[in-house]
Amino acid sequence: MKIFHLLLISFLVFVAISQETTPTCTDDQVLVKGKCKDVQNCKTQLGFFKQTQANGKKQIAKRPTFALELKDGNLQFSLTFANGKDLQTSVETGSTTTCIQINLRRFGAAFTNEVADASVITSTSTDTSRTWSFTVNKDQFDSIFLKDESNDEIKYTGFYAISVTLLLPNDNGIKPLAFFAFKFSAIFSKDLATLKSSEIKPKVQAEQVCADAAGEQCVNTAQSTLTLCSDDACETPLNTNELVKGETIYLKQSITQEGFKGGKWKPMDAEITVVANGVTKSVKPKKLDKGQNGEQMYQLKLNFLGNKVTIGCEAQMGETTAARILQEAADDPSVVGSTSVSCIKETSSSTCPTEEQVLTYNSENCSGVSCDDDESSNAMIFKVVITMLGLLIL
């Protein structure tokens, strides 16, 4: 037998063993905090969000497609479900006592600082599909989105999620069913009249990830702290509040979420979003694979200037077992955290930049893009391994 087959079998055995403790519910029941609860009259509505098991974890059977477009000068976001004509949730019925509740959530940089968003989600249908959409008016872009300004363009970035929750009748329990998160960016002409390009990056999660078998400690997004360090082992925190453009900096991310810290979970590949006054950049850091369980170290450079800087980090939260290699990266739970400094300046001897210096420097040297000088090779290797294992299973 090939070594890969042996690995695969060990993995499947591992999955079987690790799931032994979870009770098996009937088709008319759902598992809520370790107990099988009768879904009663919610069964039909629930059908749409039925989850399948793939590679040892739950998956949404029906993934929506995500889109954004300029409509009457405003930005409209939409999620479209194929064969979703019969979808029945609070959005379709307009009732908050219905079985399936939909909520819009909004975040700060890198999915930190989650809040409820009051924008109205509307539902429209065609013969075969169902679309949920919400609109953000252009006069709200500056206050709601993260902004990146250059001489001739404005880029907005934002982080949202639509959460889907089952409310069982007679106060019988609440169960999160799906979390349709996404990050978008949209590049406009200065006058906001033209949408030059846009990008939307979905992150779909089935159920929540739980730290315990009883399902008491469950999250879509786990919290962590982010610390700037003076070296790659992170023995001492960085003792300055002003960073220098182009200098190597080190970050330590430590999971603080109850149940997930110090145990088998570890922040993996991360994406950093740096937000300053009129500046928003994505940076792909290098993962150093140092630190204890529950921790990760990263190395990165910031090739732009900024004032009042927040560094947000969103990492995939993986288990420190080989099992992760078979999972689909996009669906891993996230672990997020942020830290702040007063500025990113041009040289170690300069003072923090003026807003004008920020605009001219970034327009010329780092406009609209991430300014990464080297792409992380980790992500690429990971994708290749996934593809190889995928072919093996087929």
| The token pair that represents 131 in the structure block | 């679309």
Q: How far is the CB of 303 from ligand NAG (least distance, A)?
A: 9
Q: What is the DSSP string of 62-127?
A: SPPEEEEEEETTEEEEEEEETT-TT--SHHHH--TTSSEEEEEEEESGGG-S-EE--PPPEEEE-S
- Sign (positive/negative) of CA torsion 289, 295, 299, 302? positive
Q: How far is the CB of 364 from ligand NAG (least distance, A)?
A: 4
Examine residue 76 and tell whether it contacts ligand NAG (CB under 6 A).
no
Q: Binding segment for ligand NAG among 73-81, 102-110, 236-244, 361-369 (CB under 6 A)?
A: 361-369
Examine residue 354 and tell whether it contacts ligand NAG (CB under 6 A).
no
Identify which of residues 245 and 261 has a Cβ nearer to ligand NAG in the complex. 245
Q: How far is the CB of 361 from ligand NAG (least distance, A)?
A: 4
Listed in sequence order, the residues at least 6 apart from 194 whose beta carbon sits closer than 8 Å to its beta carbon are: 188
Q: Which residues pair with 223 in a beta bridge?
A: 336
The structure tokens 């702040």 sit at 340
Identify which of residues 170 and 349 has a Cβ nearer to ligand NAG in the complex. 349
Which of residues 11, 134, 156, 361 is near ligand NAG by CB under 6 A? 361
Examine residue 304 and tell whether it contacts ligand NAG (CB under 6 A).
no
| Helix locations, the chain, DSSP H | 3-18, 43-47, 90-93, 141-144, 355-365, 377-393
Which of residues 360, 379, 382, 386 is near ligand NAG by CB under 6 A? 360
Which of residues 40, 95, 365, 387 is near ligand NAG by CB under 6 A? 365
The structure tokens 């889109």 sit at 67
Q: Site for ligand NAG (CB under 6 A): how many residues? A: 4
Identify which of residues 234 and 309 has a Cβ nearer to ligand NAG in the complex. 309
Q: How far is the CB of 124 from ligand NAG (least distance, A)?
A: 47
Examine residue 364 and tell whether it contacts ligand NAG (CB under 6 A).
yes
Residue 274 in contact with residue 283, Cβ under 8 Å? yes
Q: Which residues bind ligand NAG (CB under 6 A)?
A: 360-361, 364-365
